[in-house]
């Protein structure tokens, strides 16, 4: 029996083999290919490229548009992430509060999550119609007397950027609530009872018990949201003209990459350079934050079970 069991562990390799093969072919090689294309002047027109070293990268760093795209991507992500996590923490605290006893928590959560399931491109097109010159926002504001006449909202830099940020927040806060709540309900109740006996206030309990124990989940949300945010494309691409208008206010890394790719000659060498820089930046930030913050966390003894986070002890 013991003999067969040892042998059978090798079956694990057969089970993970398809994944590894597909990863090598469709994951790792394209990554390598993107990297090597970024060192060439390959275009779709010529279908070949010469090795030009780091020239694509030096050109990019001298390009105001790239720096602008980089800044925009970070700004749009940060300004949607902060209210997203804020609203999620607040609503989760309310939903899990025993004293408030909010009714229909499941239904509220389900409704707040709905926008996340809609096609992002559709949402962008929808908000484009809403904010257009003849759109409902103008109609409403003129009718209630807030505006004298209709305004071209999507020609205004700040408003357009705010619309993108709002859409991102609108699409993602429901999901964040669900994850944060799952984390909160997994915190052992006896911790709060002990704190209450010691006379802690609700605010103290939130700061000293809830937040530290939620840290793994908050880091997870932070990292996955960052990775998504740095690749933002659909919403800013379809909200306006697909070139970051007005005045490049919603130009993001991926839109810039696409523009180089879809330019008349198809500069995929230059497009790859944008991808490589964004990739390196995002990966360093995401993995750095994840691993640095994770290890400091070991002092908390009774933390919630999160097997994706704590190294799981070997099961027998």
* Residues 17 to 46 in contact with another protein, rule: CB under 8 A: 18-23, 25-27, 29-37, 42
One residue of 46, 58, 129, 247 binding another protein per CB under 8 A = 129
Calpha distance 82→229 (Å, rounded):
13
Going residue by residue from 48 to 77, which x/- string records binding to another protein, judged by CB under 8 A? Answer: ------------------------------
Going residue by residue from 92 to 111, which x/- string records binding to another protein, judged by CB under 8 A? Answer: --x----xxxx---x-xxxx
Q: Are 293 and 221 in contact (CB under 8 A)?
A: no
Q: Is the dihedral of CA 216, 217, 218, 220 positive or negative?
A: positive
Q: What is the DSSP string of 125-189?
A: HHHHHHTSTTSHHHHHHHHTTS-SS---GGG-HHHHHHHHHHHHHHHHHHHHHHHHHHHHHTS-H
The residues facing 40 across adjacent strands are 51
CA atoms within 13 A on the CB side of 12: 5
Residue list 241-270, contact with another protein (CB under 8 A): 254, 257-258, 261, 268
Q: Which stretch binds another protein (CB under 8 A): 72-80, 153-161, 193-201, 230-238?
A: 230-238
One residue of 3, 12, 48, 145 binding another protein per CB under 8 A = 12
Residue list 148-167, contact with another protein (CB under 8 A): none
One residue of 188, 283, 292, 300 binding another protein per CB under 8 A = 283
One residue of 45, 46, 67, 140 binding another protein per CB under 8 A = 140
Does residue 143 bind another protein (CB under 8 A)?
A: yes
Q: Which two tokens stand for residue 74?
A: 């970070």
Does residue 127 bind another protein (CB under 8 A)?
A: yes
Between the alpha carbon of residue 306 and those of residues 178, 290, 310, the distances in Å are 15, 14, 6
How many amino acids of this chain bind another protein (CB under 8 A)? 104
Calpha distance 82→303 (Å, rounded):
25
Does residue 170 bind another protein (CB under 8 A)?
A: yes
Does residue 83 bind another protein (CB under 8 A)?
A: no
One residue of 3, 53, 117, 190 binding another protein per CB under 8 A = 117
Per-residue burial over 61-70, b if 16 or more Cβ lie within 10 Å, else e, is eeeeebebbb
CB of 140 to another protein, least distance (A): 6
CB of 307 to another protein, least distance (A): 6
Residue list 203-222, contact with another protein (CB under 8 A): 220-221
- DSSP letter at 301 equals S
Calpha distance 10→233 (Å, rounded):
42
One residue of 234, 245, 263, 297 binding another protein per CB under 8 A = 234
One residue of 45, 51, 71, 139 binding another protein per CB under 8 A = 139
CB of 33 to another protein, least distance (A): 3
Q: What's CA 179's distance to the chain center, in Å?
A: 14
């Amino acid at each position: 029996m013991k003999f067969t069991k040892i042998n059978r562990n090798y079956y694990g390799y057969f089970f993970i083999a398809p994944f590894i093969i597909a990863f090598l072919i469709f994951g790792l090689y394209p990554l390598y290919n993107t990297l090597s294309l970024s060192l060439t002047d390959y275009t779709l027109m010529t279908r070949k490229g010469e090795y030009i070293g780091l020239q694509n990268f030096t050109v990019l760093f001298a390009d105001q548009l790239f720096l602008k795209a980089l800044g925009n991507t970070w700004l749009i992500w940060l300004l949607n992430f902060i209210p997203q996590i804020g609203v999620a923490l607040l609503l989760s605290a309310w939903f899990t509060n025993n004293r408030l006893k909010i009714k229909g928590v499941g239904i509220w959560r389900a409704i707040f999550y709905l926008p996340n399931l809609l096609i992002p491109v559709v949402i962008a097109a929808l908000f484009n119609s809403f904010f257009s010159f003849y759109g409902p926002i103008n109609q409403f504001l003129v009718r209630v007397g807030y505006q004298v006449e209709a305004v071209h909202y999507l020609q205004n830099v700040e408003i357009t950027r705010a619309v993108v940020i709002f859409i991102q927040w609108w699409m993602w806060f429901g999901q964040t609530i669900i994850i944060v709540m799952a984390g909160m309900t997994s915190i052992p109740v006896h911790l709060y009872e002990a704190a209450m006996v010691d006379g802690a206030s609700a605010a103290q309990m939130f700061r000293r018990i809830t937040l530290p124990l939620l840290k793994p989940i908050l880091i997870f949300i932070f990292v996955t949201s960052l990775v998504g945010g740095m690749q933002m494309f659909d919403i800013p691409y379809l909200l306006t003209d697909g070139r970051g208008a007005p005045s490049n206010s919603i130009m993001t890394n991926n839109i810039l990459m696409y523009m180089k790719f879809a330019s008349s000659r198809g500069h995929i060498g230059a497009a790859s350079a944008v991808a490589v820089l964004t990739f390196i930046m995002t990966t360093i930030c995401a993995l750095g934050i994840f691993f640095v913050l994770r290890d400091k966390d070991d002092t908390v003894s009774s933390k919630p079970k999160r097997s994706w986070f704590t190294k799981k002890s070997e099961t027998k």
